[in-house]
Copies of this chain bind each other. A is one copy, B any other.
Amino acid sequence: MFRVNIQSEPFDIHDEHWRLSSLGPDVGAVVSFTGQVRDEALELEHYPAMALRQMEAVLAEARARWPLKGATLIHRFGRLEVGAPIVLVLTASSHRQAAFEAAAFLMDWLKTRAPFWKKGADGWVEAKAGDDAAAARWGT
Interface class of chain A by DSSP: mixed
Is A103 positioned at the interface, with any CB of B under 8 Å from its CB?
Answer: yes
Q: How far is the CB of A27 from chain B (nearest CB, A)?
A: 7
Tally of A interface residues using CB under 8 Å: 32
Beyond A100-B100, A134-B97, is A38–B26 a contact (Cβ under 8 Å)?
A: yes
Residue of B whose beta carbon sits closest to that of A111: B96
Question: Using an 8 Å CB-CB cutoff, how does the interface string of A6-26 with B read, 1 for contact, 0 for none?
Answer: 000000011001000110011
> Complex formed: what's the CA distance from A97 to B83 in Å?
18
- Cβ–Cβ < 8 Å partners of A134 in chain B: 97
Residue of B whose beta carbon sits closest to that of A82: B25
11 A-B residue pairs with Cβ-Cβ distance under 8 Å, sorted by A, are A13-B13, A21-B85, A25-B38, A25-B83, A27-B38, A28-B36, A30-B34, A31-B31, A31-B103, A33-B96, A33-B100
